[in-house]
Structure formats: structure tokens, C-alpha cells
Structure 1
Amino acid sequence: MVVTSTEEPLLGGPPTEAARPPLYERLVGRLYADAGRRRLVDWLAPVLITLIAGILRFANLGQPHALVFDETYYVKDSWSQWNLGYPATWPDGADESFVAGDTNVFTTMGSFVVHPPLGRMLIGLGMFLTGADSSAGWRLATAVFGTALVLLVYLVAKTLTSSTVFASVAGGLMAIDGLAIVMSRVALLDVFLAFFVLLGIWFVILDRKTHAARFRTPAAGGAPWGPVRWNRPWLLAAGAALGAASAVKWSGLYVIAAVGLYVVVSDALLRRRAGVAMWPTDAAFRQGAVSFLLLVPAAAVVYLASWTGWLTTTGGWARDAADAHPATGFLGWVPLALQSLWDYHRQIYDFHVGLTSPHSYASPAWQWPLLVRPTSMYYHQDAFGEAGCGAVNGCVQNIYSMPNPLLWWAGVAAVLWIAYRFVRTRDARLAVVLVGAGATYLPWLLYPERTIFEFYTIAILPFMVLAVTFALRDVAGLARAATAPAATVGEDVPGAAVATDVPGASVASVASVASVASVASVASVASVERRRTGQRIVLVFLALVLATAIFWYPVLTAMPVPYDFWRAHNWLPSWI
């Protein structure tokens, strides 16, 4: 019988000395000594984390029954688009009518909307299923995708490390983060963007794992060229997912570019490792061309498909823009509908690059790491005795797009830490997290004058959470060599697994053999006392993050709280 362990505990590993192992290691050892119990935990962990995330996002989802912040645009545009195939204009006073239940007062005149249709399609679907007069229905789609985003963080973490503990910490942190909760409870587009971006990155990780397995055997005699692989379904899926991200907001295009560069570079390194003589040219021009054809056209098809409603109707904004001045010459064959769509995109681009109107909650990208100006999306105050308020100084209801401050600042430090670790170790698992974080943050620095908001960071947050989890794993003491120059994404480091061919060997005996066999590798990482101290630090940090999440939850979800309690959350002068 062959039994292989792929679990990579977050908080340490087998003892390196004769001293008594830390409590965490003893508990994990007992938990995984039984194969059936291990399988149960591996299934139960993501279910429980997703359930907790769903409760935090769906509880009292319809509160407040008001169009919150930019819901005034997205909810009404989504509903008119669902009915007409394109967003339409609304008469004056439409917000009040809509909230009162008169939801069909839109006109048939196309409205200039500056984001692609997919996010509005999803919001409109939720409204169709529950009724457009339901504020919970307005937010149904974002709550579903926000909950799914937590599960996706878990799956990405599990794919990277094969560790249930690591994945549970990452998923758990995402489940209780304030920004992730808020953006799942308001009908804005950003949680869809975050979901599809992370989905695309997950598919890239899966592609990397399967593609790398084909380069285990070195090229014979230093062959000049390596194989060109067309059979990469995960890369095709990544293109579709990132096309969907771009069909929500154009910032998904930056991720497509970053992923394309990552794929070419990682393919080049695989070829060099396999002994391909012309590995740079081979990866860039031979496999690179194929990878481009797998990634980009799939994204383009999904993106264009999101415009089907606009293309198949006649009332949308700029729908007939090309009729008066159609293209001639080389582009004369392009259908007028697509020419009009191009003109519409030109108008959208001009709007975005010229958007500099002041806003009290605007926050340029350089401020985001410091958490200077989160966005207050809804604020309502009642005096003592009004609406059941029993607080002398009144009561407040607030929706504040505040990430968990401790987790956020730790995330900023963790991204810098894993960047340093990557330079030292070339661990491909860290590289993919850095690619995601960089692609979702760095482009915003190019527009310092543009009106943007801190809640855009929901797309960055999953990668910060993954970075924090990697950093916590380092603090706690590594269970096995976390990095190796030749390691690929999700690849087990040699020596991490233990097998036995002894007939009738029990799981417990295999675990014992694994413990003995791994002493030498773990001893070089940290002593038992070092791991014990590190694990205590990690547990204290996680406890503080949880306590902070509980403290902030009422202010994130429009729960009525005393004014003085609300004021206690304004840790910085700009947090108002």
C-alpha cells in the first residue's frame, strides 16, 4: 500500500528535536492520523468557511431599503438593460419612485453608461429572480459572487500549497474582511471584477501545473526547440474568465496583459530547465504565439458576447453612430453595428481618462496602502427617541467600505515580504500572487488625477490575503521547504511526501514514518521553540483580526448603533 501526504500545515510541521512538539503540531498530527477523518476535514473546511461567508453577506441584505451610493446608477441601469437589452434614461425623481416600487418608469432612450454590460446583466438577473422592488434582490448577485469569491480564495490557496490549513486561513480571512463583506452587500460592479480576475488567475495556476508536468524530462542533447502545446484548456478557460472580468470593468484588460507576460516568462523558464537551447526565442515566438491564440481570442469572444443586447437592438446609446459616417476602404467591410460599438468605446475611453471631478471620498491609488480614505456609502442618523433609538447622542446607520484595518496593513507588509522572498527563492507560488497584486494595483498609479475610490481595492484584496497567509506560514515556522528554485506552482517539494510499500501498513504508522523522515529537513528551518513562539504569534494575530472584524461589522452593514460607538471606529481623522 502506498500512502502519500500532500498536506502542508500552515503553522509548523513535525518536531525537529526530542522536545515536545508545539500544541498545534500535536493536534494536526492526531487529526490527520486517520485517513477518513482527514477526508472529512478536507471537505468540511471549505463548506463551513463558505457558509460563514454567506451568513455575513446575506443576513439582512435588504437593509437599507435605499439606493446606496452608486446603486443609483447600477441598479436602475441594470433593470432597464434587463428589459430593453441596453441601459436607458430615467426621468427626474426616479430614485424615489424606484425605491417606492414603481420600477418601470424608464424611457426607451439609450443612456451613456461607461462600463461594459456583464456586471449589469448579473445584477439584473438577481432583480428578475426576486422582483425589482426588492432591495435584497438588487444585491442578490453581488452577495452570491461575494460568497463565491471566498470559496475561490480557498481553492486558489489549496491549489498553490495542497494544504487545507493554509487554504482555511486564507478563506477565513477573506470571509470576515470588512471590504469583502461591504462589496458583497451593495449592487456595485467591483465584486464581479474581483471574482473573475481571481478565477482567471486560478485557471492560470492550473495551467501552469499541468503544463509544467510535461517538461519533467530534459531535452535530449540540448535540443534547440521544445514542444509547442496547443492542448492547454486551462489557459483557454483563463482567457474566458479574464474576458468576463473585462466585460465588467476595463481594468480586467491589465490583468490579461500581466497574465500573458507571466505565461511567456514561465514557459521560458520551463524550457530552460528542460535544457532547450533556444529557450527564450522558443517561449516568446513559438509557444508564445500559441498561448496568445489560446488566451486573447477567448477573452475577446466573451467580451464581445456581453454586448449582445446592445448589438441586437436599436435603441442603445450611440447604436447608430456609424450610420452617418461609415468606414471606407480597408475597414469598409466591418458591420455598421461593430463600427458604432467602436465609436461608443472611444467615448467611454475619453470619459475615463478625463474623469477628474472632485468627490469628498475620492482616494488616489497612492493612498490605498495607507488606508487614508475609505468610502462611506450610506449614512443615516436618528436622534434619541426616534426610530427606537435609545442612545442619548443618537443612533447611526452606516455602510463603510472599510477593510479589516489589521488585515489590510498586514497585507501591505506581506506583499513586500513575499516580494523579497521571491527574489531570494524564486518560488513560483509567490510569483503568481505578486502578478495578481501588481496587475490589480499598479495600473491605477498611472492616473493620479483621476477620480477613483478606495473600494476599487476589492480586486487586490484576495492577493493580499494570500500574501498574508504565506507570511504567517513563515512566521510560524515552515513545515517543509517552502521554496525551491525548481519548484513550480502547486508542486510538492521533494521530501515532503512519504510513501511506504509495507503490506498492511496503517495510516498511523505511515504518519510516524513521515514524522521521522522529515526531521532532517525541518530541523534546518526552525527549532521546536522557534516554531512554538511563531505559532503563538500567528494565533494572537488571527484572534485580533477576528475581534476587529466583530467590532467593525455593525458599521459595515447599516446596523443601528449608538453614535458614540460609531465614533469609536474613526481611528484616523480621514475616517469619517
Structure 2
Amino acid sequence: MVKNWGDSVRRLVPPFQGTALVGWLAPLAVAIFGGILRFVRLGEPKAVVFDETYYAKDAYSLLKYGVERSMLGDSKNPIADKRLITGNLDIFKQCPQPDDCASFVAHPPLGKWMIGVGEWLFGMTPFGWRFMAALVGTLSILILARVARRMTRSTLLGCLGGLLLALDGLHLVLSRTALLDIFLMFWVLAGFACLVTDRDWARGRLVDRYERAAITERGPKLGWRPWRIAAGVCLGAACAVKWSGIFFLIAFALMSVMWDMGARRALGLREPYRGGLAHDVPGAFAALAIAPAVTFVASWSGWFAGANGWGRNWDQATSSGPAFFVVDSVRSWVQYQLQVLGYHSGLHEYHPYMSEPWQWPLLLRPVSFHYPTGLPPSACGANECSQAVLGVGTPALWYAAALALIGLIVWYVSNRDWRAGAVLLAFAAGWLPWFYYAIADNRTMYLFYMIPVVPFMVLALVLVAGQALGKQNAPAGRRAVGAAAVGAFALIVLINFWWISPVLTAETISHAEWWARMLMRSWVTVAPK
């Protein structure tokens, strides 16, 4: 039996610094600040920006028909783009038969359904199709601040994490654009946050049940774990936005099980690993395999419910009774998923802003989302004007994060700190798989594929900042130096963000001012005039 129940709780679940009220109000204030940056001028530019040409219209099609439907115009839909901007919503092809308009799409529907919520609330306008991206971008700041607080037990460090995420340029751009990647990032981060909360919850219950019951050498069963089920739903939702969510799902499932075994070992149980296998793995399978699968399939409800989806074979499915309907529908759906897999494996189309994974942490090749030509000089009061949306991270933050991640490797090897290990695992799950596609498949890829790992880059910085500040009982001079260093870094990130913000949010500035903000020649496709 545990001799001192209180000491065991504090060892397995350390207390938080400060009050619970401040632990909510301070992160909320940081999230509101980030929300202002994301919602102000959200409807600008009044244009279909980059891949909004696909997702904004697919979302509208889901609202109208339940599935994605073919649009007017060619593959990039310029005719439909022009109609949307002028408020003309007649953007779908006219088809004699519903099957003639079925559209093959490369990504699952959940992210487009989420975009569609904004269109339903605010109309088919730039503000409407960007609303949900801005909302989940803002909510992700709050989640990051809260999970950083939980990992460090410090509200100050939690708010630092939220602030840094709010000041990241790539996060800002994707929060103001109707692309899928911000939704992928949101669900991955939400799933991670649920698992960190489950870690505390499970450890507290482990100590409580060990103290109050006759326990075998493997330890007690923990029963119902709602936070881990919530994590499974969130990670299933990530996969239902983009298939790349599967990398995080696998990594986080293994991480959660290892946390369980580590908790049993830390409590001093004689057979912690057998206990984890017997008591924790079955529940983990239900929460982190079955729940994500159900969530993923449920996101395709519109496809299952109607006759107009790609490859639906509705007439065949409805020809021989309910059982055959289910079997044939599943068979058609699986065939569709295989077609999507083949599409992604063969995606080699050249794009002027494509890049390789090794370039991403160094910001060597960001993506130009919007850069109209022919702006009149009167627009900015100079001979030449520019209006840009450049998908690029805040350089000061990204370069410091690269160093912080290297520092975490050293920290984890020397101390086996679970927080360093979790951040490194999440970063690896979101970055390293793309090297396979770059080497074996030569796939077309872009810098913004990094957005799901940006919160974990921020968490790396937060953990290093915590080391710089030192423990609560550290000498005052030591903590003062650490606080000055952390404060100076946050100020540098803020200034750097402020400097590049005009080219993140389509402000109209002179061509000279735009060029001054291009850190490297590789950020543009043409030489300056």
C-alpha cells in the first residue's frame, strides 16, 4: 500500500500555480487578443484566395446537396470565382442526371462542413467562408494556453504559449483563409490537450483506487475515461479533415498507453507493464481506435444518405434490400477511399511555391496566397503598390523553435521528461512522414503542411522558457535574469510579427515596403522591379 496518499498525488499530479479562476481568465484574455488579429478585416481581400477556390465552394455544395458537386469552369473554377465575388451563387453545372455532376474530391468532408457553418451563418461571402477558420484559430490559442499551463503548472507560461501562437504568421494566415489545414491543426491540438488532461485524471484516479482498495501487483482498473474518449473523437475528426491526421492518431495512441504504464511504474507496482496491458490497453483501443473510426465514417453521412456522391452506385445499392444496401454502400465507399489514396500517391503537379519538408522549419519557401497585379498608384500613394497574403511563419518564432526542439532532444535524453518527449513525438508525427513522400514519391507539398505542428513548436519554446525562469524556489536573481530573457524574446517575436503583418493580411502598401519584408529571395518568384 502507498504509505502517504497525499505525497503520491503530488508526485503523480503536481499542483498548479495560482488560482483556477486566473488559470481561465488569463488564457481567455490572450485568446481574445488573438481573435482580434484574426477577425478584423476578415473579409479582405474580397477575392477567392488560393485554394479557397475549391474548399469554399465544396462547403457550399455540401450545404446545398449534401455532397461535393461539379462547378462551372475548369479545374480552378475561374467562372465560379467571379460569380461568387459578385454575389452570384449560380456556380454549379446543370446536369441531366445527378451522377453527371458528382465531383471527385481528395479530402474527407469534415473541414468543408465546418467552413459551411460560416457560410450558413453569414452567407456566401469572403467573411462567411473564412469565419470558421478564424473561430477555430482563435479557439486553438485558448487550448494551447490551457494545455501549456497544464504541462508546466504555470499560468504565466501557459499565457506565453497562447501569445506566441497568436503571433505566428502562418497560423494567422490560415486562420483568415478557408483552407482545411487550420481545422486539421485544431483537432490535432484538441486531441493532444484531451490526452494531457486524461493523463492527470488517470493518475489521480490510480492513486485514489490504489489507496482505497485491495490491489494486485498489476494495480487497479481505472474504469470510464471520458477525456481519452474525447481525444479519440478529436483525432478521428482530424482524420476526417485530412488523412494526414492518422499520423498523429497513431503516435498519440502509443503515447497515451506509455503514459499509463509509466504511471503504474511510478506508483511502485511490481508489474506495471502487465497491468497496463491488462487494464489500460483495451480501453485505449476503444477510445483511440474505435471512436476515431466511428467519427471518420460519420463525417461521410452526406455521401451515404444520398445518390449524388462520387462512386455512390445508389441504384445498385438500393436494388436488393437493406442488408445489400449496407454492404454495397460500404464497398463503394471503400473503393472511393482507395481512389483518393491513389490520387495522393500520384500528386506530382508542379506549383511555383511547392517546397520540400527539410525547407519548412527554415521558412525557405512560403506560399503566396494572394498577390493581385495592376493596383493603381493611388491605392498606396506610391508609384507601385502591393497587396499580399503570404503564408509564412514569424521568422523569430520559427528559428527559435528549431533551437528549442534541439534543446528538447538533449533534455529528454538526459532526463526522460515526459513533456519533452510528448512535444518531440508530436512534432515528429507531423513532420517526418512527409520525408517519405518527398523521397519515395516526389509529391507536391507546401510549407503550410507544417501548421499542425506549429502549436508543438510553441510548446517547445514554452518548456525552454520554463527552464530559463527556473523553479519557484530558485534565487531571485536567477529568476529575474530568466524573466528578462523570456520577456525580451516575446518582445522580439511581437516586433517581428508587427513588421511582417502587412504582407499577411492583404494591407495595401508600396512595392518597396512589400519588398523590404521579403526576408529571402526564395520568398518570391520574380526579381524586384
| SS of equivalent to 1:90 | coil
Match of 1:65 among 14, 38, 46: 46
Q: TM-score, normalised by structure 2?
A: 0.88
Aligned-partner Cα distance in 2 for 1:415–1:61: 33
Q: Does structure 1 retain, via aligned residues, the 8 Å contact 2:117–2:132?
A: yes
- Within a 5 Å distance, the mapping from 1:332-343 to structure 2 comes to 335-343=327-335
Aligned-partner Cα distance in 1 for 2:25–2:253: 35
1:391 Cα deviation from its structure 2 partner? 1.0
Aligned-partner Cα distance in 2 for 1:334–1:380: 49
Q: Residues 218 and 439 of structure 1: is their aligned pair in 2 closer, same or farther, counting only changes over 3 Å?
A: farther
1:215 match? 206
2:85 match? 99
Q: Give CA deviations for 1:127-181 in whole Å, capped at 9, x if unaligned.
A: 111111x111110110111111111111111222231101111001111211111
- Within a 5 Å distance, the mapping from 1:223-372 to structure 2 comes to 223-284=216-277, 286-320=279-313, 323=316, 335-372=327-364
1:112 Cα deviation from its structure 2 partner? 0.5
Q: Does structure 1 retain, via aligned residues, the 8 Å contact 2:31–2:139?
A: yes
1:77 Cα deviation from its structure 2 partner? 0.9
Is 1:189 the counterpart of 2:180? The answer is yes
1:511 match? none
Q: Give CA deviations for 1:432-476 in whole Å, capped at 9, x if unaligned.
A: 222322222222222111111101111100011111011122223
Give the number of aligned pairs. 494
2:419 match? 429
| SS of equivalent to 1:447 | helix
1:574 match? 522
Q: Does structure 2 retain, via aligned residues, the 8 Å contact 1:229–1:290?
A: no
Q: Does structure 2 retain, via aligned residues, the 8 Å contact 1:78–1:87?
A: yes
| SS of equivalent to 1:396 | strand
Q: Give CA deviations for 1:300-332 in whole Å, capped at 9, x if unaligned.
A: 1111111001100001111118949x9xxxx98
Q: TM-score, normalised by structure 1?
A: 0.81
Q: Does structure 2 retain, via aligned residues, the 8 Å contact 1:396–1:561?
A: yes
Q: What letter corresponds to residue 295 of structure 2 in structure 1?
A: V
1:556 match? 504
2:150 match? 159
Q: Does structure 2 retain, via aligned residues, the 8 Å contact 1:218–1:273?
A: no
1:555 Cα deviation from its structure 2 partner? 0.6
| Structure number with higher relative contact order (C-alpha < 8 Å, ≥ 6 residues apart) | 1
- Within a 5 Å distance, the mapping from 1:467-546 to structure 2 comes to 467-476=460-469, 478-480=470-472, 518=473, 522=474, 527-546=475-494
1:104 Cα deviation from its structure 2 partner? 3.1
1:506 match? none
| SS of equivalent to 1:460 | helix
1:219 Cα deviation from its structure 2 partner? 12
RMSD (CA atoms): 2.6
Q: What letter corresponds to residue 332 of structure 2 in structure 1?
A: S
Q: Residues 229 and 323 of structure 1: is their aligned pair in 2 closer, same or farther, counting only changes over 3 Å?
A: farther
Q: What letter corresponds to residue 336 of structure 2 in structure 1?
A: Y
Q: Does structure 2 retain, via aligned residues, the 8 Å contact 1:207–1:234?
A: yes
Q: What letter corresponds to residue 51 of structure 1 in structure 2?
A: I
Is 1:123 the counterpart of 2:115? The answer is yes
Aligned-partner Cα distance in 2 for 1:275–1:51: 44
Q: Does structure 2 retain, via aligned residues, the 8 Å contact 1:71–1:186?
A: yes
Aligned-partner Cα distance in 2 for 1:332–1:81: 26
1:446 match? 436
Aligned-partner Cα distance in 2 for 1:46–1:286: 35
Q: Residues 302 and 359 of structure 1: is their aligned pair in 2 closer, same or farther, counting only changes over 3 Å?
A: same
More helix by share: 2
Aligned-partner Cα distance in 2 for 1:40–1:116: 39
Match of 2:65 among 84, 92, 117: 84
Q: Residues 570 and 304 of structure 1: is their aligned pair in 2 closer, same or farther, counting only changes over 3 Å?
A: same
Q: What letter corresponds to residue 285 of structure 2 in structure 1?
A: F
- Within a 5 Å distance, the mapping from 1:2-21 to structure 2 comes to 6=15, 8=17
Q: Give CA deviations for 1:198-238 in whole Å, capped at 9, x if unaligned.
A: 11011101111111123335899994433333311111111
1:267 Cα deviation from its structure 2 partner? 1.8
Q: Identity across aligned pairs (percent)? A: 38
Q: Residues 532 and 275 of structure 1: is their aligned pair in 2 closer, same or farther, counting only changes over 3 Å?
A: closer
- Within a 5 Å distance, the mapping from 1:382-397 to structure 2 comes to 382=374, 385-386=377-378, 388-392=379-383, 394-397=384-387
Q: What letter corresponds to residue 164 of structure 2 in structure 1?
A: L
Question: Mind listing any 5+ residue stretches in structure 2 that lack a counterpart?
Answer: 1-9, 74-78, 525-529
Q: Does structure 1 retain, via aligned residues, the 8 Å contact 2:205–2:222?
A: no
| SS of equivalent to 2:372 | strand
